[in-house]
Structure 1
């Protein structure tokens, strides 16, 4: 988190609204999120992938995959 604060100005109160300036293959991300959620959001850009064992759908975050599995398939995957 030190890197995000020093190099990318991810500082201030937890409620501070920020733009994600990550460059993707579709262009500038631009997502607006709270400072306390920026670290979790950056995880969507770093290339990790989690697949649902029930349907094979892929997610960039493990918590999103688990929420999908619970809602769509009634399992914790």
Structure 2
């Protein structure tokens, strides 16, 4: 946080804690949001952030095959 503030002195830098989100949970929440967007067939990228030409649905869904057990014998 301090380094970000030093690099961007004209920008107010706050912890996610101020918004009610534990800083240790940010990555997990981000991946949960991406998974939710994928499950709803919604775009997962923001072209204004990524610089991509188009919005796209990110990720893939793979259905599991029949369950088998290698524990027999």
Structure in which a larger fraction of residues adopt strand: 1
Quick check: which one's helix share is greater?
A: 2
1 or 2 for the larger relative contact order (CA 8 Å, sep ≥6)? 1
Relative to the length of structure 1, the TM-score reads 0.24
Q: What TM-score, normalized to structure 2?
A: 0.25
Structure with greater Cα Rg: 2
